[in-house]
Amino acid sequence: MLRAKLAARRVPLHWTNMFGVIALACVFVLFVTGAILMFAYAPSSETVAYHGPYVPLAGAEMSKALESTLYISLEMPGGILLRQAHHWAALLLPAAIMLQMVVAFFTGAFRRPRRLSWLLLFGLLVAALLGGWSGYALPDDMLSGTGLRIVEGIMLGIPVVGTWLSRLLFGGGFPGQIIENLYPLHLASGVLLVVLLVWRWWDAYGREPARFPGEARTVPAWPNFAVRAGGLFAAATALLFLIGGTVTIAPVWLYGPASPGDASAGSQPDWYTGFLDGALRLVPPGWEFELLGRTWTLAVIVPLLVVGAFLMLVAVYPFIEEWVSGDSRAQDVLDRPRNVPIRTGIGVAGIVFFGALWGAGGADVIAAQLNFSLEGVITAFQVLVVLGPIIAFDLTRRVCVALQKKDRETVLHGYETGRIVRMPGGGYVEVHRELDAQERGRLVGPAPIEPFIARPNSDGRVPLVNRVRARASHLFYEDRLAPLGGQSRPALRAMEQGR
C-alpha cells in the first residue's frame, strides 16, 4: 500500500530537494560510526597514565576520555576512519540543514501549511549544533579544553545565574565532571535529531510536495525519485568515508591532554559555532558597569542577546510574515525570490549578518595571514555587522525589482533571438520568440494579494497595532509588481500600452 501511495505521489525534480538527502546521509554516518565508537570510548575524567604506542605522550597523565580516544585513533582497527568520518559528517550536517533553510526561506516554503516543517527544520539545526558542540569536547584534548574554558568564562559572565549555570554544567569548579555531563547530552542530541527527522518526514508525507511556478517537471516518488535520492545518499555516504580515511581532522595526539592552566595557541572553533565566537570578539573593550553590588559585563550579555534574538527571529519569521502580509491561505506554489523583494532582502541581510559574525570569529587568522592589524580587522567587521545588512537589503530589493521588470518585458515581447528583419517600409526590427506555456507560467508572477488594511473598530478608532500592521504590510508589498496573468502576448502588450 505504501508503494502504491508513493508511486502516485508526484515530486518536483529540482536540485534543491537533494539537500535533505545529504543531511540524511550525514545522520546515517553519524549513527553508524557513533554506535561503534561508543563501545570503545570511555566518558570519564578520571586521570590515568598513558602507556600506548604514541611515544611522545608516554607516561603523560590524561583523562580516560583522551586515553580511549587515542586508543580508537592509533590502535583500534579502523578506529581512525570511524572517528574522522564521524567528525566530517558532524561538520557537513549543519551546512546541509542551513542550505535547506535558505531554500525554504527564499521560496516561501515555510508558509501554511508548512510552518511546522520550518520549526522542525530549525529544531534539527539546533540539535545538530548541540550535538556537534558536545562531541567537540568529548576527546578532552588541549583544543577542546580551551573551548570549554571559553564556555566557562561566558557562563560566569552572565549576571545572577552565571555561577550556578557553570557549576551545573561542569559539576563544580573547572573542569569538574564535564565529560561525564556532556556525554549524555551528546547522546540525547542524537536521539533528538532522529526524532525531529522522522517527525518532519511524517509531516511532509501527509501533504503533497510544494511545486515551483509553472509546469515544473515532476516524477513519481517511487521508483524514480527514490532511485535518484538513493544514489545521492550512497554517493554522499561514500564521500564522507573517503574523506574520513584520507583527510586528517582533530589529531588529538598532537594537541595533548587538556590542562586547566594552559590554552592551545591559535585555536579555532568548528565552523558552525564560529559566529558565536565572532559575536564575542566584536564587542568594544570596557563594556561593563556596576549596579546593585554586581558587575554587569556587557561584553557577554550583548552578544548573547543579539545572537539569541537573531535565532529567535529565524524560528518565528513565518508567523511574523503571515501577520504582516495578512495572507493565511494554504500555499502549494513556491515563490520566485525576485517576486518577493522584501523577504529576499531580509534573507540576504540575515546571511550578511551571520557571515560578518562568522568571519569575525577568525579575525586573528585573517590578520596574521594578510598581515593586517588585528584592531583594524575587528573594526572592519564591527562596521560590516551593522552597515552590511542594511546595504545588502537595499541592493537585493533593487535587484529583485529590476529582475521583475525584466520578466515583465520577456512576457510582453518574448525572448530576443538576435535576428534582425527589414520591414517593407525600410525599418529594421528584431524578431522575438514567444514564450511557451511553461515559461509563461513561471514568469507571470504570483497571484495578486491586497495588503492588510487597518479598519476602525466598534468604537470608531483604529488600534495602534493595526496601524503598525497596515504600514508594515504596505511596505512588504510595495516592491511587488502586479502580475501579468495568463493573457496572450498581444493582449498583454495592449494592456501595457494602455497604461
Q: For 215-250, what is each residue's pLDDT tens digit?
A: 567 888 788 888 888 999 999 999 999 999 999 998
> Residue 432's pLDDT band (boundaries 50, 70, 90)?
confident
Q: Cα separation of 127 and 112, whole Å?
A: 24
For residue 213, the model assigns a pLDDT of 79
d(CA 275, CA 258): 24
Cell of 62: 590524561
| φ/ψ of residue 429, rounded to 5 | -135, 155
Q: In whole numbers, what is the pLDDT of the chain averaged over residues?
A: 87
The pTM (predicted TM-score) of the whole model is 0.90
Cβ neighbours for 114, distance < 8 A, ≥ 6 positions apart:
207, 210
Cell numbers 561593563 correspond to what residue? 288
Q: Which ranges of 326-373 would DSSP assign to H, the alpha helix? A: 341-360, 363-370
* Residue 210 near residue 336 (C-beta atoms within 8 A): no
- The gap between the terminal CA atoms of the chain, to the nearest Å, is 56
Q: Are the beta carbons of 338 and 403 closer than 8 angstroms?
A: yes
Query: In degrees rounded to 5, what are phi and psi of residue 465?
Result: -65, -35
Q: Please give the pLDDT value at position 488.
A: 44
Helix (H, G, I), strand (E, B) or coil at 420: strand
Better-predicted residue by pLDDT, 448 or 309: 309
Predicted pLDDT at 492: 45
For residue 62, the cross-strand partners are 48
Confidence label for 447 from pLDDT (cuts 50, 70 and 90):
low
Beta bridge partner(s), residue 432: 416
User: For residues 306-344, b (16+ Cβ closer than 10 Å) or e, as one string?
Assistant: bbeebeeebbebbeebbbbbbbeeebeebbbbbbbbbbb
Give the separation between CA 44 and CA 185, rounded to whole angstroms: 14
Name residue 347's amino acid.
Answer: G
Grid coordinates representing 399? 535587484
Q: Are 115 and 126 spatial neighbours (Cβ–Cβ below 8 Å)? A: no
Query: Do residues 131 and 186 touch, judged by C-beta distance below 8 A?
Result: yes
The contacts of residue 268 (CB under 8 Å, 6+ apart) are: 274, 277, 361, 362, 365
CA distances (Å), origin 424, targets 416, 420, 429: 21, 13, 11
Cβ contact 454:446 at 8 Å: no
Top pLDDT among 37 and 429 is at 37
